Amino acid sequence: MSKRLEVKITTEEAKRQDEIISKLSQHIKDKGLTFFIGTFGCQMNALDSEKIEGVLTKLGYTKAASEKTADFLIYNTCCVRENAELKIFGKLGALKHRKKKQPNFMVALCGCMMQQDVVLKTLKQKYKFVDIIFGTYNIYKLPELLQTRIETGENIIDIWETHQEIVEDLPSIRKHQFKSCVNIMYGCNNFCTYCIVPYVRGRERSREVDDIYDQVKALVDDGVKEIMLLGQNVNSYGKNLATKPTFTDLLERLASIDGLKRIRFMTSHPKDFSDQLIDSIAKHDNICKGLHLPIQSGSTRILQQMNRGYTREEYLDLVAKIKKAIPSATLTTDIIVGFPGESDSDFADTLDVVTQIQYLSAFTFIYSKRTGTPAATMENQVDEDVIKARFNQLVAAVNTIAADFMAAQIGNTYEILLEDSSKNDATMLSGRTDTGILVHVKAPLNFIGEFVTVQITNSKTHYLVGEIKVSEDL
């Protein structure tokens, strides 16, 4: 399909949904209907929820204070971990009684969970009251699905097995005016043996460079100072596009946008982290130096079983190159404990890598068996008690390293972007350094969204406390 034809298709589809919105909006406004979105999972899901909120707002809905008071409740689901699925089923169980008492109350489910046949079967058998079910590929069709539900009174299930096209210019309600996430690609081609994502998000498909650039430029013109670029594997960006742009090419283009103070990205796959990408990060002041680089295991044997595409030694060599080119860089990671067949020696290798690299933080996960993945049927599943003991040992090691690192920052000066007020102390605002370190500082609320220079006065295991330097005008 040519680029010209693809753009024509997506533009026509967006226009069709807009026409449906025009028809529905007055009905929804007249009734004064409210919505609430419960979001589970990763930042990709969070960004999808922003798009859903944009669509619902355009439809005439207003946001409810909580899910308990909403006329239309949407759960945007995650299936990466079993606990996330159990939480959704628990919430649905609690909604049965409410649906009986309030027949006009509507429930919709979307997201990764919905792409699994076993989940759909359960929903059809036990949760027949759910009004609308859709997946990861067709968020833009929500107005049409809602219209069909209202007009027919029948429950709607619209799940696609594969993506069809990328629809640009969906309305979106940003959580913050000064920072935003931007999808640069969808899906994944890696097929790590433990991961369900390629099956529920589909194959990799990248957005055009010009479309991404135009979106980011418009966001910056609207006051955004920091952008987070999102993809399951941003390093493989562009492979399905006709001109074969690389992720480095995209970064170079975006780094040139005047007024874009910070560019972050996730997630990076170690096997695709090129020398050119390292050079680009080192060269540009507005490409952040906090890098998320999932290792998953420090054992080459386990990495091979996971189908990660690199060895322990290759990962360590990559980190060495990053630290040499970017001395200020901090690294965070993902680690799975208890992958099938993981021995004491394999786990020791993981602890050794953690000690060598000195991660700023690590997202540590107990292996979760996902039906439909190769790892789910592997032999030598690790005993639960052994997994828990290893998990606790890993967390303790990561916390010790983090605490030592944070303590060493006392006295240093950093520029941070103040993002939000502290939940525990309204006089304290929170922000992050270029390298991703969380810092709390006493400042007035109107400083949210501003860059300030702070001097670090105290440290905790996972964050720093600082004071705004006297030169800053309070």
39 and 113 in one domain? yes
Number of residues in the chain: 474
| Sheet of 156-158, strands arranged across | 62-63, 34-39, 72-77, 106-111, 132-134, 156-158
Question: Can you give the pLDDT at residue 159?
Answer: 77
Report the distance separating Cα 51 and Cα 32, nearest Å.
Answer: 21
pLDDT tens string 262-315: 999 998 999 999 999 999 999 999 999 999 999 999 999 999 999 999 999 999
Question: Can you give the pLDDT at residue 331?
Answer: 97
Q: Structural domain of residue 447, as residue ranges?
A: 413-468
CA atoms within 13 A on the CB side of 306: 26
Q: Does residue 474 form part of some domain?
A: no
Question: Can you give the pLDDT at residue 135?
Answer: 79
Instruction: Give the residues of the chain that fall short of pLDDT 70.
Output: 1-11, 161-174, 470-474
Least Cα distance to 407 among 399, 415, 417 occurs for: 399
Question: Can you give the pLDDT at residue 1?
Answer: 32
Domain stops at, among 355, 373, 407: 407
140 and 68 in one domain? yes
120 and 247 in one domain? no
Look-up: residue for tokens 């036990």? 126
Q: Does residue 164 form part of some domain?
A: no
253 and 277 in one domain? yes
Question: Can you give the pLDDT at residue 11?
Answer: 63
Q: Does residue 171 form part of some domain?
A: no
Question: Can you give the pLDDT at residue 470?
Answer: 65
Q: How many domains does the chain have?
A: 3
Question: Can you give the pLDDT at residue 169?
Answer: 55
Question: Can you give the pLDDT at residue 164?
Answer: 53
Domain stops at, among 125, 158, 191: 158
Question: Can you give the pLDDT at residue 156?
Answer: 86
133 and 25 in one domain? yes
110: CATH:
3.40.50.12160
59 and 16 in one domain? yes
